[in-house]
Amino acid sequence: MFSKHLEFTVSTLQLKTKKGYEANLQKLLEFVATSESQLIVASELCLTNFDYKHFENVANFYDRALERLLEAVSDKILILTMTKREGESFFNQALVIHNHQVVHKQNKYRLFTLGDETKYFTAGQKEDIVKFSIDGISYGILICFELRFKELWQKLEGTDIILIPARWGKARKKHLEVLSKALAIMNQTFVIVSNSADDDMASSSAIISPWGESYSDDTLEVLTKKINLKEVKKSRRLINMH
């Protein structure tokens, strides 16, 4: 679909996470069903938040939520993260769903100590942060705190689009905005940020071009924009960094 049409519509969600997991899932499913966007990015743990007090319930919700998401997502592409239990370990797992399948997944590698993530989650493998392709377009994912690490930027050099599902705190709002723009400029790629709009979160979801031009609006629940991947080729041709 995308290989023939370099111009397409993307949406990044900027939602508050309610306490009821089912209500969050239903809202996401409704958006997937009604949106005309081909690419949809949801914030980190958008269905459950971290909710460490009910961590077993969070992990048990994974299979039920994934089953319904797989049923709902056909030719669109949906990116989100969920808490996945494997044996005695819990992972913050990014999922890419397309054509009723999980076409890519990776566990969060860089856990945020200040948010107690290291107390509850097991870190993923650095080797799992890789570029992947769908219909001739290359993607990469960095989950929230991973955005801060330059060696991870290098692993995703050459991608057309980098996706950042995040739950980034309001106190470090400027960091999210500056780093995501810098990543777009440095890697000459589109960067799509989906961040939580909870009261203690930064919002700052954005659709950023390879030139660092950012479309963002903290008052919106959904940011939708048409992008053209010719901008990636153009920026790399005019400013050769290799």
For each of the domains in the chain, give its residue range(s) and CATH number, in order of start. Answer: 7-238 (3.60.110.10)
Res 71 pLDDT > 80: yes
**Which position has the higher pLDDT, 215 or 242?**
215
For residue 28, what are the CA distances in angstroms to 34, 60, 130, 212?
10, 18, 26, 28
Res 10 pLDDT > 90: yes
State percent of the chain over pLDDT 70. 98
Quote the pLDDT of residue 241: 83
Quote the pLDDT of residue 5: 66
The mean pLDDT value for 96-102 works out to 98
pTM of the complete model: 0.96
Closest Cα partner for 241 from 210, 204, 213, 195? 210
Which spans in the chain are helix H?
Answer: 21-34, 55-72, 117-120, 150-155, 173-187, 230-238
Burial zone of 8 (CB within 10 Å; 0-12 exposed, 13-18 middle, 19+ buried): middle
Question: Per-residue pLDDT tens for 120-171?
Answer: 999 999 999 999 999 999 999 999 999 999 999 999 999 999 999 999 999 9
The mean pLDDT value for 187-204 works out to 98
